[in-house]
Amino acid sequence: MVLLRPLVLLLALLVSDLYCLSWFIDVSESQGPGATLKSFSFNCSSYIATLELLHVQPPTTFFNPPSLTRWQRTYVGKMTLSSSARLDALTVNHYELQLRFTCGNHVTEGRLSVDIQRDPNRDQCAGRFASPAGEIIQVQETVTPGTPLYTLLLPGQGAQMNITSAQDPPYFPGPFSIDGQGQLWAPSQGLKGQAQKVFQLQILVTFGQGRSCRGMLTVKVLPVPSSQVSFPQQAQNITIPENLVPGSKVAQVHAQGFDVRYEIVSPVPCRLFSIGRVDGVVRTTAPLELAQAPDAAVTRLRVKAFERLRPWDSAELDFRVDVQSVNRWPPRCLPALLVTQIPETTLVGTVVNTFTCTDPDSPGSTLDYQLLFHSPASASSLCLRDRVLEVNDTLDCDVPGACLQHTASILVLDSGQPLMATEVPVLVMVTPVNEFSPTCVSRTFRVREDARPHTLLGSVVGTDLDYPHDSIEYSTSGGSAPFAVDRLNGEVRLLGPLDYELQKSYRLTVLLTDHSQDQDPTCHRSGSCTITIEVEDVNDHAPECEPPFQELTIYAHLGRSLEVTTVSCRVAQEPQRLAFSYRIVGGNSQSRFSLQGAVLVHNDLMLGSPWPEQPHTYELLIRVADAGPSAPHLSTTATVIVHIVPWRASTGATSTHRTTVPSRMTPLLVTDTEVFWQPEPWFVVVLTVTGALLLLGLGWFLSWLLRRLTQVLQTSSKPTQALLLNSIQGTKGSIEGFVEAPRMETPQAPSSVTSLVCQPTILRTGRDYLFNTHTGARRWL
């Protein structure tokens, strides 16, 4: 038992925890005294709680006061049937119990509706029909022959009823009959003249399977009623609302007469209404819910008034009771709250949601739907067709402020009185969709080749039709160009040095990728454009002359111009640059030299200038500058040393000796891979012996050739050598005036041989002579 108590408590908590509302329970009429009808659970931890039964409609003693027990912090209340409870669905099928729960200062009231259900297995005769006196009915002697007099109501269906008592004449004018529906029919001969007679009828009720019961009906025949009992009012129509609780007053009838009693004679039985036998007040006996009982809308009542001591003295009144529908509940909708999101690409006419609403007061009635916008107030993006919410206009999130949250309400109105409405909040969020790819316009930027790193060249301006329009990231694809594009603003900047001579232009592909333009953060679109960067030439390399230093010896002729040399200059980094300007900036004393383009010319046409008797040396500085359109103009200086030897009449020829100094020596590292052959040892021996024999033969031949040559020379040069030796010794001091041979072109030799190098030869005679540069004298050999 200890283990079962928590289970019972848990069941009680599950069954009844909404104690502030109404409860509806169904109870079988077979329930006897002490049966539990309902369990309640209440939370009251700080006070002592009480549970009271305030009243019961219709009044009865069938219900015990509720019991209340405490389990920890929870109170459990129970409603049970009293010892006098005799439930009969045919007599009263509905009870209303008003309960009050008190917990400290908190008081809660609730209503318990008890519906009495018929028990099909309750096959027994009950009531006054089964009592020894039986059921007594009174009929007038003027009743129509063969009409129903009374309807016997018994539990169960399919029962057979038979009158088992004797109905022998002359006491009986004719036999009474009863059918399977329990209706007692008057004799076909009628009851005329049978006033004040009492007919007792024994009735056998058979339910099948051997079950049966007996009862008695006593029929009293009344004489024709007098006119003393009457209703002063005429027939009337009464309209009542459907929300009247059972026991509510509907109307009150009043008949004239002595000690009048009232009863409802039609319909019998009357399920919805009852009348007070003494006061004539018509009251409701069951809820008049038209939704559950549509036939309760119109009820025609026939009320009979009669004297208590003279029941045959009676009068009847017919009136109609109309139950008017009361609009107590607003429409109920599903869903009660709509929160949804749709993409901006949703087509016009797309169904957002369909609302299903019903009126609890009048199921199946027509409801009115209205769409009320809150934000934005005049939105036309959505529309309501009947009860279907649809997209009414193009949803576009690509305009600032267009992609909004549409807040609205669906107002549902019923057709009852008073008019009641239900408001369904609606929140429709339009989500962006990345529809378009970013684009940019191809552009051309120009930059000087001497621009410093991080120089701003320009900006790539990307556009995107999706909102926000500037949610674009920039990047470059491939390549090793010395440029970079800022990821956020598209600025193109220089990263490294440029060289016009190496590359004059660059083509850079800029990739554009959008972001934050779709509900899905991983959804991106990309585009690209090509920008051209042209490098502007900057004159950053000075000309270089090859060689940068020259030393020349010329023989000048009086009155003649002589080309000395050509200054050869170029820009190694810019081989296409060929325009240079030349100018002598130093060493041109007496202006004996001039430049004709790159050609250095010696002029002896100067009048009045003394003819130099002795050799003279000029160190000329020639400034070479580039003459192209590029700025700035850079220059270099070439040095030309000219040794001028005056030409005399005895001079046989003019020669120019040039000495050059290389501009610079650049070491060159050459890597050479040799492929060698390794022969067999026997081949090496044979090759060595053969080579040695060849060398010996060659050596012998050369030695023989030299001996022969020596003999020939000795024979032909002995007289000439003697004369030359004497002349050299006599003129040793004058030989120093001869022109010295260039040091770079002729190898150094002994002094005696050097003086013989410059021996001119007269072509006419073929004889050799020595020329003295100081005196101009010749000595023939």
Segment holding 441, helix H or strand E:
none
Is the per-residue pLDDT at 670 higher than 70?
no
Burial class (CB in 10 A: 0-12, 13-18, 19+), 709: exposed
Per-residue model confidence (pLDDT) at position 11: 38
- For 588, phi and psi rounded to 5 degrees? -95, 65
> In the structure, what pLDDT confidence band is assigned to residue 771 with cuts at 50, 70 and 90?
low
pLDDT at 769 over 70: no
Which amino acid, 93? N
Residue 29: per-residue pLDDT = 82
Task: Provide the percentage of residues in the chain whose pLDDT is more than 70.
Answer: 79
Q: Given this model, what pLDDT does residue 724 score?
A: 44
Contacts of 672 (CB under 8 A, 6+ apart): none
Going by pLDDT thresholds of 50, 70 and 90, the confidence category of residue 274 is very high
* pLDDT value for 564: 85
- Least confident residue range of 465-474, 531-540, 736-745: 736-745
- Residue-wise pLDDT tens digits, 94-118: 999 999 989 888 888 889 999 998 7
412 pLDDT higher than 90: yes
Say whether pLDDT at 743 is over 70.
no
Residue, of 22 and 359, whose pLDDT is higher: 359
The predicted pLDDT at position 779 comes to 64
Asked whether residue 21 carries a pLDDT value surpassing 80, the answer given is: no
pLDDT tens figures, 317-327: 999 999 988 88
Percent over 90 (pLDDT), the chain = 23
The identity of residue 192, as a single letter, is K
**Long-range Cβ contact pairs of 66-72 (< 8 A, separation 24 or more):** 66/40, 66/99, 71/5, 71/9
pLDDT bin (cut points 50, 70, 90) of residue 644 is: confident
Q: Which domains occur in the chain, in start order?
A: 22-117 (2.60.40.60), 136-222 (2.60.40.60), 237-324 (2.60.40.60), 332-420 (2.60.40), 439-536 (2.60.40.60), 544-646 (2.60.40.60)
> ω before 58 within 30° of 0 (cis)?
yes
pLDDT at site 8? 38
The answer, yes or no, to whether residue 655 has pLDDT greater than 50, is: no
pLDDT band at 652 (very low <50, low <70, confident <90, very high): very low
Residue with tokens 């002589």: 562
Separation between Cα atoms, residue 530 and residue 442, nearest integer Å: 5
What is the predicted pLDDT for the residue at 691? 92
pLDDT of 275 strictly over 90:
yes
Strand order in the sheet with 314-324: 237-241, 314-324, 298-307, 260-266
Q: List, for residues 327-350, the tens digit of each pLDDT value.
A: 888 999 999 999 999 888 888 889
Q: Can you tell me the distance from the alpha carbon of 12 to that of 238, in angstroms, rounded to the nearest whole number?
A: 44
Note the pLDDT of residue 94: 92
pTM tops 0.75:
no
Mutual angle of helices 718-730 and 681-716, in 10-degree steps: 70
Closest by CA position to 512, among listed 488, 483, 479? 488
* Bigger pLDDT: 24 vs 46: 24
Q: 752 pLDDT exceeds 70?
A: no
Q: What is the pLDDT of residues 287-302, one digit of tens each?
A: 888 878 888 889 999 9
SS in 3 state form for 335-348? CCCEEEEEECCCCC
pLDDT exceeds 90 at position 261: yes
pLDDT at 744 over 80: no
Question: Measured between alpha carbons, how far apart are the two ends of the chain, in Å?
Answer: 163
pLDDT at position 425 over 90 = yes
Instruction: Answer whether 384's CB lies under 8 Å from 353's CB.
Output: no
